[in-house]
Amino acid sequence: MKSLFAKKLIVANWKLYIKTQAEAKALYKSCVVVASQLKRTEMVLAVPFVFVSHMVKRKNMHVGAQDVSWAVEGAYTGEVSARMLASVGVTHVIAGHSERRDLAGDTDEQVAQKVKAALGVGLWVILCVGERERATDGSSLVVVKRELLASLKGVSRMLAGHLIIAYEPIWAISAHHPKSVDTPESTLEMAIYIRKILHDLYGKATASRIRVLYGGSVAPENIRGFLERGGVDGALVGHASASAGKFTRILHETEMSYSQDV
C-alpha cells in the first residue's frame, strides 16, 4: 500500500535503555550521520527529559520527548510542561504510551489533556493506542476505537493536523510478550480502521494529514513488511532504537521499502 506522505517517519523511543549522558551523545552522533544520508525517511529521537537539551534538530531528524504534562504551570512537582519542552527545541512528544498508562496510571482523560496541552503550543503529538490481548473476533477494533475517541476528546479539527497516531498492539511488544508475533496483514486492517475513525472525526482533508505508525515490536528484519504491506506511514521503535547498529539498519530498510511504493 502506497503511503500518502513523501517520507516515512521513524520514531526512536529510547525509553530507559540509554543510561548516561555519554551514551546518549554517542547514539545521537550516530543518528546525525545516518540522518544526513536519508532521502525518503525522517526520524524523531524521543529521549528522556534529562537528555533533551543535548539534542539539536538536524536535517531529517527531530527532537522528541517520551511524555508531557497535562498541566500548564503551577504547584505540580516533577511535571514537565509542553511549553518547557518547546522552549528547549522539542518538536514532538509521545502521549498515551502503554507503559505510561500502566506504570504511571495515565487514564484516557489524562491522555486527552496531555494531547491538548501539547497541541496547544504547536508540538506534534504521537498518540499511542492499542489493545492488550490478541483477538480475532473484532473486539480489538472496539478497544482501539474507544481509546482513540477518548484520548482525542476535545481536540479540534484545527489542532488535529499535528497528530500522529501510533498503533501499539501491546500483546506484540517483545519486551512484554516475546513469543507473540504480529503480521503486516493484521496491522493493515487496523490502520484502515484508524483512518476511518479519523475521517469521521475530522473530515478527509485533516485525516489525510495524520500519519499512522506501527508501534509493536519493530526490528530490522520486519520493518519493511510493515511499511510495504501494513498500510502504515512509519514506525515507533522501542528497544531496537537504543542500538546504533540495529536502528541504522531499520532506517536503511525504511529507505529501501520505497522501491515497492513507486
Average pLDDT score, the chain: 93
| Residue-wise pLDDT tens digits, 168-198 | 998 877 555 555 678 999 899 999 999 999 9
C-alpha cell at 174: 517483545
- The stretch 111-124 carries a mean pLDDT of 98
C-alpha distances in Å from residue 154, one per residue of 160, 202, 203, 228, 251: 10, 12, 16, 33, 35
Q: Residue 259 above 50 pLDDT?
A: no
The CA-CA-CA angle for residues 253, 257, 262, to 5°, reads: 155
pLDDT band at 41 (very low <50, low <70, confident <90, very high): very high
Q: Has 97 been annotated as catalytic?
A: yes
Q: Residue 261 above 50 pLDDT?
A: no
Q: How far apart are CA 169 and CA 118, in angstroms?
A: 24
Q: Catalytic pick from 99, 168, 228, 253?
A: 168
CATH classification code of 8-260: 3.20.20.70
Angle between helices 184-202 and 139-151 (to 10 degrees): 40
* Residues 226 and 39 sit within 8 Å (Cβ to Cβ): no
The CA-CA-CA angle for residues 192, 222, 38, to 5°, reads: 90
Q: How far apart are CA 173 and CA 97, in angstroms?
A: 12
Q: Has 92 been annotated as catalytic?
A: no
Burial class of 45 by CB neighbour count within 10 A (0 to 12, 13 to 18, 19+)? buried
Q: Residue 64 above 50 pLDDT?
A: yes
Supply the pLDDT for residue 262.
Answer: 39
Query: Phi and psi (nearest 5°) for 98?
Result: -60, -35
Supply the pLDDT for residue 260.
Answer: 47
Q: Residue 69 above 80 pLDDT?
A: yes
| Residue-wise pLDDT tens digits, 224-252 | 999 999 999 999 999 999 999 999 999 99
pLDDT band at 2 (very low <50, low <70, confident <90, very high): low
Q: Catalytic pick from 97, 99, 131, 228?
A: 97
Domain ranges of the chain: 8-260
Q: How far apart are CA 223 and CA 202, in angstroms?
A: 29
| Residue-wise pLDDT tens digits, 196-216 | 999 999 999 999 999 999 999
Supply the pLDDT for residue 176.
Answer: 56
- The stretch 19-27 carries a mean pLDDT of 97
| Residue-wise pLDDT tens digits, 142-173 | 999 999 999 999 999 999 999 999 999 988 77
* Residues 145 and 105 sit within 8 Å (Cβ to Cβ): no
In 3-state terms, what secondary structure has residue 214?
strand
